[in-house]
Amino acid sequence: MELFVIPLIFALVAAFAPKNVVRYVGLLGAVASLVVTIVHAISFAPEATVSLVDPNYITSFGLTFKMGYDGMGLLMVILTNVMVTIILLANLNQKIANERSFNAMVLLMQFGLIGVFTAMDGIMFYIFWELTLIPIFLISWWYGAPERKQVLVKFFIYTFVGSLAMLLSLMALGTYATDFSHASLVAVTLSAKAAFWVMGGFFLAFAIKIPLFPFHTWQPSTYTVSPMAGTMLLSGLMLKMALFGMIRWMLPLAPEAKSEMTCLVITLGLIGIVYAAIIAIKQSDIKRVFAFASISHVGLIAAGIMLFTKDSLTASFIQIINHSLVAVGLFLAAGILENRLNTREFSQMGGVAKLAPKFAFWFAVIGFASVSVPFTSGFIGEFLLLKGLYGYNWIVGLVAGTTLVFGAVYTLRAYQLSMYGSPKIEGFKDLTWNEMLAFFIISVIIVVLGVYPQVVIDFVGPSLDNLFNSMQASNTLVP
Amino acid sequence: MAVDQLIVMILALPLLGALINGTIGKNLPKQIVGSIATIVMFAAFGLALMVFNSNHEEKIIHLFSIINLDSLTLNARFQVDSLSIWMTLIVTGVGSLIHLFSMGYMSHDKGYYKFFTYLNLFIFAMLILVLGSNYFMLFFGWEGVGICSYLLIGFHYSDEQKGMLNGLAARKAFIMNRIGDLGLLIALFLILMQFGTLEYREVADKLLVENMMPTTWMMFGITLCLFIGATGKSAQIPLFTWLPDAMAGPTPVSALIHAATMVTAGIFLVVRSNFMFETPGAQATQDIMLYVGLATSLAAAFMAMRQNDIKKVLAYSTVSQLGLLFVALGMGAYTAAMFHVTTHAFFKALLFLGSGSVIHAMSDEQDIRKMGGLKKYIPITHMTFLIGTLAIAGFPLLSGFYSKDEILAHAVMHSPVIYGILMVSVAMTAIYMFRLYFLTFHGSFRGSEEAKHHLHESPKSMTIPLLVLAVLSVIGGALNLPGVILSKGAHWMSHFLEHNTRGLELIETHHLSNSQAMLLMGGAVLMTLIILFGTFVVYVKKNSVAKADEELKGWELLSNKKLYFDEIYNALFVVPVEWISVKSHQFIEMFILNKSITGFTGLIGKSGDVVRKWQTGVVSSYILWMVVGIIGLVVYYLIKF
């Protein structure tokens, strides 16, 4: 219980705390939540499934309130807590951190995310899923760039419609099951046609959130107009809900439609990888470069998930973590440039490396992590994902592999245009301690996972076995 | 100490140096920073020598498993055998000397500590590459040296005029390498699919001991993809254009990374995988390798003929020599290739460091048209540069003479036509090298008075490495003397490598009969002497000077403009991709997708307007709607049951 309660309590406290300490209340809340999660993780055996809420009561329409976690759920909860801590830490010196509502909303978001990752009941999953939309929308609405309103309305409606499709799918599936608990929903065997529509509904919701080509158009503009913290939350955590949802909900619930959907999703993923990467090459706005880069990277993860083997799912988890870290790091760098220079245009940057060597160093580390060089988690994740895709179909593997080349093109271009050359600006304040610490934590995790990814593998492996077993028990096809 | 600890220490030392300099180097005096970096290198070299002396059999050192999945295990594991220890000796040995040289060369640079951090880091990555026991470790190191190369090419990124250009050169190198890396990655996937492992030893055993017979296509695919990887790192057509641009980096970097070590990684890869290249399916790859190498060797030698930047001449020369090495590999002459890799490391490092010493003396001028007559100002540099030039040109009894001759001997046995073409390339090498030497060191000084005033010999830390490398360039040939010179104990290095490198012992090496060998050597010597005399006449007696860029015509222009490779690539790849990028953003992204979504969300907004009108606030109308709803439900259930 304390996993959910702590962020919620701190959200309330932050809403009424005095303005001069509210930033520390927010950070404290995130850290406290992280500590509790770590305690959970230490006493956790990877093959176990821990129940957090199970009132043993079913409402008339089948809601069971079940919440709990297994290895992969807990991994995502840890990720959430780590990332929220990093995000609040990185924003500590921003004006936004003095706002009560900002801190409260971030913690509320954390609450919602933990709910999404621990939901063991379809309706609970949906409720928490929708809940997360509200704080992120408000953060961007209140603190975003001046041109934000139209963009954000579009974002809200678009993702909301996608979620409705998911709700319809859940409802349809629920009519066949005794209740909405994860186990009952998995146990349902659907006809191929029904499964197609059920999976289709889930897919629409997830494809919009991830986002996959061609459902991605809300993303670059929303990332650009959101404040730094908002972009970090969106790219670092929010889209991971959808990737996790594919693994936990979409594929196990309607595996009968997997063979039909695999080809479609992998194709969309592939198009996204190449299309977004190519567009990123010539963008003149640094946030848009990283936004398109993000589309390209998650396309690869989504394609990997669709293979639905233990290897590919493990690789996807490594890459999910990696992408969270890298995306937050890149948007931190972009945010620092934007806040200090008051522009996002490359044409007005250049020469920052000379003025701010510390920033140049840490930005470079994240940049390299983004192009998946050895000793970074991206190297391992990309290697395993590409291997999986190559095994599926060599052309798919080859096309996905172009991310190696294009990734280097747009990332290095963005870095060099902003940092190299002789300075065009008078001064540039180098990193503050909290920004440096944020970069440092991100980099350490990236390197540790790049050298010893086995920690993640051991953590999610048994829970993936459990997932496959439960699917097998319900007589559905498993790879 | 056992070999295990020695190897771990060899790897740990450069990493340690990088960590120390990277974290606290900024606050240390320059001498200490440079000393730390250089001492760890010499220590690593000493330990490598100990391994070389004590170890005579293949040995595997297992550290830990990086990835351990059901279907796939990837290990951090190292392998000591003749090939890996030989490469380690070259990397740490030449690396030590270049570190020492850099202490003097970089002494005025602000990023001194950064430079040595990167340099040590490079050595660490390179050692992982050569010492790893599987293709995954190789790939690890392979990408690692790529980053270090990127960082060092773009080292002077905040330079007033050239900062952005240096950055561009670094980016080009990284991206071109990445294209090759994609090939290598696919080779890895194919090896995994075929053999289920990436360990060299297990793959070799499956092929050589268990006689596994993969399909011809499979072996062709694997070896071709490996070769594609090699074309990136070892700068072969079509991925060679990054190497000349990489000269934007500081000169010691050009010597270490872009001449002596990193660029030979492709050669190492092929030699390491010899058991795959010798399968029937790989025959076609060998031919491809041979012809690509031949074309590269010829084209690059041609381009070097009319370059006027001292480092660019050497860069094209490196590309050309690497081409020669691939010709050797294409003919299955693995040990001959390794021999030339070794001697090339000596004399090319020497030449680059020598050019660094020249540039240092010339206050950062690199254009040979502004040099001339330098021999009396910088005598040690002149002497050593002359030795390097003679060695690469194949002057009798110097190291390059023997190693080149061995490859040429293989070519004669393979096909006279290939031998003939190679001789053209070899002749051009001698021509452009003597041209470079004479224009730089002979004649009269063509630079400004001020530059003349500054001319000075380099400090000891720079001249000592030059002298050591010069000695090695002279005697390096002794490593693998041909039978015609030495009746007993000939081909020492070939025997050493074949002794315990998987696959190599099975490859039959043919040697020419003594009379044929004599004939071959005689021809080569005669040609070198004629060219030496010819260039002497042109550049010293007649005092010809390289033309200004505008005066170049015909083949000279073609050579100077590198056969327009950059321009062609630009038109073929860069421009179209950028065009697609811009157009797909304008048209697909902003017009089709964005418009349709905006329309869709707008529609939903509009539908809100319609529905809102139903909330009339009149209770009776709500009741009416409610009744309609109830009736509807009742009717629905009546029909359903």
Residues 594-623 of B with CB under 8 A from A: 594, 597-598, 600-601, 604-605
Per mean pLDDT, which range of A470-474, B205-209, B234-238, B408-412 is the poorest? A470-474
Give A10→chain B minimum CA distance, Å. 35
Look at residue B637 and tell me whether its pLDDT is greater than 80: no
Look at residue B166 and tell me whether its pLDDT is greater than 80: yes
With an 8 Å Cβ cutoff, is B154 touching chain A? yes
With an 8 Å Cβ cutoff, is B68 touching chain A? yes
One-character DSSP codes across B249-260? S-HHHHHIIIII
One-character DSSP codes across B111-159? THHHHHHHHHHHHHHHHHHHHBSBHHHHHHHHHHHHHHHHHHHTTTTT-
| Confidence (pLDDT) at B448 | 84
Chain A residues touching residue B192 (CB < 8 angstroms): 387
Between chain A and chain B, the number of residue pairs with CB atoms below 8 A apart is 146
Burial tier of B344 (Cβ tally within 10 Å: 0-12, 13-18, 19+): buried
Does residue B309 sit in helix, strand or coil? strand
Residue % of chain B over a pLDDT of 70: 98
Chain A residues touching residue B589 (CB < 8 angstroms): 217, 279
Interface test with A, best of B124, B142, B162, B189 (most A CBs within 10 A): B189
Residues 111-140 of A with CB under 8 A from B: none
Q: Residue B502 — pLDDT band, cuts 50, 70, 90?
A: confident
A478 belongs to a structural domain: no
| Confidence (pLDDT) at A478 | 46
Pick the closest to residue A166 from A128, A113, A112 (CA basis): A128
A19 belongs to a structural domain: yes
Residues in chain B: 641
* Neighbouring residues of A94: CB distance < 8 A, sequence distance ≥ 6: A228, A229, A339
pLDDT < 50 positions in chain A:
478-479
Quick: pLDDT tens for B242-279.
999 989 889 999 988 888 899 999 999 999 999 999 88
Interface test with A, best of B136, B140, B158 (most A CBs within 10 A): B158
**CB of B547 within 8 A of CB of B556?**
yes
Interface test with A, best of B601, B607, B640 (most A CBs within 10 A): B601
A479 belongs to a structural domain: no
Pick the closest to residue B527 from B356, B442, B401, B437 (CA basis): B401
DSSP letter, residue A46: T
Quick: pLDDT tens for B90-110.
999 999 999 999 998 888 888
Q: Residue B47 — pLDDT band, cuts 50, 70, 90?
A: very high
Pick the closest to residue B329 from B273, B383, B385 (CA basis): B273
| Confidence (pLDDT) at B1 | 66
Q: Do B597 and A354 touch (CB under 8 A)?
A: no
Q: Do A374 and B144 touch (CB under 8 A)?
A: yes
Q: Residue B352 — pLDDT band, cuts 50, 70, 90?
A: very high
Does residue B573 sit in helix, strand or coil? helix
3-state secondary structure A301-313: HHHHHHHCCHHHH
Give B582→chain A minimum CA distance, Å. 6
Look at residue B640 and tell me whether its pLDDT is greater than 70: no
A457 vs B69, B140, B593: nearest CB: B69
- Residue in chain A nearest B594 by alpha carbon: A217
With an 8 Å Cβ cutoff, is B185 touching chain A? yes
Residues 215-244 of A with CB under 8 A from B: 216-218
Give A216→chain B minimum CA distance, Å. 9
B158 vs A281, A354, A453: nearest CB: A354
| Cα B226 from Cα B224, distance rounded (Å) | 5
Q: Which two tokens stand for residue B266?
A: 């492709």
| Cα B622 from Cα B614, distance rounded (Å) | 9
DSSP β-bridge partners for residue A121? A181
| Cα A250 from Cα B50, distance rounded (Å) | 59
Pick the closest to residue B207 from B141, B156, B280, B155 (CA basis): B280
A193 belongs to a structural domain: yes
| Count of Cβ atoms closer than 10 Å to residue B619 Cβ | 8
Does residue A115 sit in helix, strand or coil? helix
Pick the closest to residue A208 from A270, A272, A255 (CA basis): A272
Number of domain units in chain A:
1
Look at residue B641 and tell me whether its pLDDT is greater than 60: no
Q: Does the structure's ipTM exceed the value 0.95?
A: no
Burial tier of B84 (Cβ tally within 10 Å: 0-12, 13-18, 19+): buried
| Confidence (pLDDT) at B162 | 78
Query: Cα separations (Å) of A267 from A295, A386, A399?
Result: 14, 14, 10
| Cα B14 from Cα B40, distance rounded (Å) | 6
What is the sign of the dihedral through the CA atoms of A344, A346, A349 and A355? positive
B164 vs A404, A421, A452: nearest CB: A421
Q: What's the domain range around A247?
A: 2-473
| Cα A23 from Cα B231, distance rounded (Å) | 54
Average pLDDT over every residue of B377-393: 92
